[in-house]
Structure 1
Amino acid sequence: MLSRNIFHRFLLLIIIGIVSPRLSYTQTQDFLTTKSFTTEKQTGDCEDSKSHNCAHIKLEYFIVKIPSNKQAQKMINSSMKNEMLVSVVGKEKPKNVDGLIKDYFDEYKKFKSELPDSWQQWEVERTADVVYQDNNILSSKIFEYSYLGGAHPNSYLNFYNFNLQTGELIKLSDLFIEGFEDELNKIAEQIFRDENGISKDEDLNKAGYRFEENKFKVNNNFSLNDEGIAFFYNSYEIAPYVMGPTKLFISYSAIKNLICRDGILNSFPMN
C-alpha cells in the first residue's frame, strides 16, 4: 500500500487509541462472544507511490453471539449492521458490505472519468469494536477515517450502547430520572469549562465553541463503563476542525442523584 496510506493507518490508531475476510473470536463473558470480520479492497494502481489512480477501503466489524438470548443477539447485530452499511459516498444504503464497496469504487471511477488528470487517492477505513461489556451493558463504537479529496481527511467516532437483556439501544432517558436534562447539562458544563480552561462567565462562542443558542448541552453520542459516562463530540459538531473532537467524562458519583435506581445502572458503584 502507498506510504501515505500507511501514515493514514498510523494516524487512525493514534486517534482511536486502538484481501479476504479475516475472522476471529473474542470471549467477553460466559454467555456472550464476538466474531470479528475484516474486508479490505482497492482499485487502481495503489502499489505505485506516484500513482494518481487509487481508491482503498477497509472495513472491520463484528457480530455478537448470545446463545441464551437469540432475540437480543438479533437486535444488536441488526443495529450494528445498519450503522456499518451507511453509504460512504452519500448513496442509498446498500444491502451488504459488497454493495457498500461497489458504490464507493463506482463513485471513484466516475470521479476519475470526469477529471482524469486529477491527482487524487481516496481512502476509507471504518472500524466497529466492543469497548465495554458487563452488567448487562454492551458499549460499542464505530470509527471512520476518510479522505475523498478536499483540504484534509475527515473522521468520526460514534458510540452505541445496548441492553443485553433486551438488545435495545440504551438512551439517556433509560439511565436517568424524569426531568434529568437541566441538572445533567449543568454538571456537565462545569466539568467541560474546567477541563477546557473556560471561566464560569466566559461566553462559549468567544471561547471557540458552537452550541445551539450558545447554551451548553450534552449530546446523544456516549459510552458507558464501570466508572461513568463519556460524551463524545465529533469534529465540527461544537468546534472548528482545527480544534478536533471533544471528549467529556462524568463519573457516576457526580450524577448519582440523577441515576434511575431501578434502571440498568443500579448495580454500578456510586462512590
Structure 2
Amino acid sequence: MRKNLLWTLTLVTVVTLLTPALIVAAGAGVPAGPIPVTKTISAVMQHVQRTAPPPADRKEALSAEIDLTYPEFTSSKGPDPVVDKLNQLIRDRLFGMIEGEKPTSVDQLVETFFRDYAKALKEDPDQPGAWSLKFEATIRHADDDLLSLEMLQSAFTGGAHPTSMSDLLVLSPKTGARIDLPAVVPPDRMGELVKVGERHFRKVRELKDGETYEEAGFLFEGNKFALNDNFLIASSGLVFWFNPYEIAPYAMGPTELVLPWNELKGIVDPKGPAGKFLAQGK
C-alpha cells in the first residue's frame, strides 16, 4: 500500500486575543541567536504569531490565526546592498500573500488580513471563520557561495482546504541573484538528471514496476516524467519539490525528491556552484 502523503498543515494555536503589539521573537523550534550565512552576513529568525477573535455578533465563528517565521539578514560591515536584496526578496514573498493592495510592513499585513476576516464574517453568515495565514522561510543551506531557502506559503480563507505551496530558491550571497538549474547542470546533461530524478520519484511514490504515471494518478504531460525548476542545493544533494496540484490531485500531497551527490557525478557541473559537493564526495 502506498504511503499516505497527504499534506497535513499544522498550525500553532495561540490563545491570546488581538492586542496592539506584535509578538516578534524566537518561538518553539526557532533559533534564538544569529545564524551564520557567510563570513560577514548572518540571519536572525523572526517569529510572529497573532490570533484575532470573531466579531461580537459572530461569536460562534472560529478565530483567525497568523504564523510567520522568516530570516532577517544583517551584515557585520553595516549597510550592504546584497543584504537589502535578500531581505526584500523575503518581504516580497511574504507580502505577496495578501490580495489587493500589498502591505509594506508586517504590522500592515496582520491588520489587513484580520480586517478582511472580520468583513467576511459580517457579509457571509455561513462563513465559519478559521482563517489562517502561514509563512515559513527556512535556511536549508548557507556558505560563502550558496544560500538555499525554502519558503512555505499557506492560506485558508474558506473552502475545502488551505492553498499551500513551497518555493525552493538558490541564491548567491555575493550578489543576491538567483542561481538557476542550468548553472548547476549543463543543458546537455539534463536528460541524465531526469533519469536519476525519475528513479527516485518512482521509489518515493511507490510506483509498481510497469505502472504508468497516469495509472498511479499523476498528471505528467504525455504521461512522461519531468523535473521542474523548484529546487535547492543542500549538503544531502539536489532537492526538488512538487507542490499539490502541480502533478497530482491535492489529496495525493506534495512530493520531495533528494538526489544524492554520489549519483550526480558526471551530471552536475564540477566547475559550477554545486561542484564542491561532488569534490567532497557527499
TM-score for the superposition, normalised by structure 2: 0.79
In 2, Cα distance between equivalents of 1:41 and 1:87: 16
Alignment map for 1:1-271 (pairs within 5 Å): 8-9=11-12, 19-22=22-25, 24-28=32-36, 30-45=39-54, 51-52=60-61, 54-67=63-76, 70-88=80-98, 90-134=99-143, 136-199=145-208, 201-269=210-278, 271=281
What is the CA distance between 1:53 and its match in structure 2?
Answer: 5.1
Could you tell me which amino acid in structure 1 is paired with residue 93 of structure 2? E
C-alpha distance 67-39 of structure 1, shift in aligned 2 (>3 A): same
In 2, Cα distance between equivalents of 1:190 and 1:20: 45
In 2, Cα distance between equivalents of 1:119 and 1:82: 30
In 2, Cα distance between equivalents of 1:254 and 1:140: 23
Identity of aligned residues (%): 26
Can you give the 5+ residue segments of structure 1 that lack an aligned partner in the other structure?
1-5, 11-18
Report if the CA contact (8 A) 1:177-1:259 is conserved.
yes
* 3-state secondary structure, aligned to 1:268: helix
What is the CA distance between 1:188 and its match in structure 2?
Answer: 0.9
C-alpha distance 102-212 of structure 1, shift in aligned 2 (>3 A): farther
What is the CA distance between 1:240 and its match in structure 2?
Answer: 1.5
TM-score for the superposition, normalised by structure 1: 0.82
Could you tell me which amino acid in structure 1 is paired with residue 11 of structure 2? H
C-alpha distance 177-149 of structure 1, shift in aligned 2 (>3 A): same
Q: CA RMSD in A?
A: 2.6
CA deviation profile, 1:135-176 (whole Å, cap 9, x unmatched): 521111222343322223343222222112221111101111
CA deviation profile, 1:224-263 (whole Å, cap 9, x unmatched): 2123111111122111222111111111221221222321
Could you tell me which amino acid in structure 2 is paired with residue 237 of structure 1? E
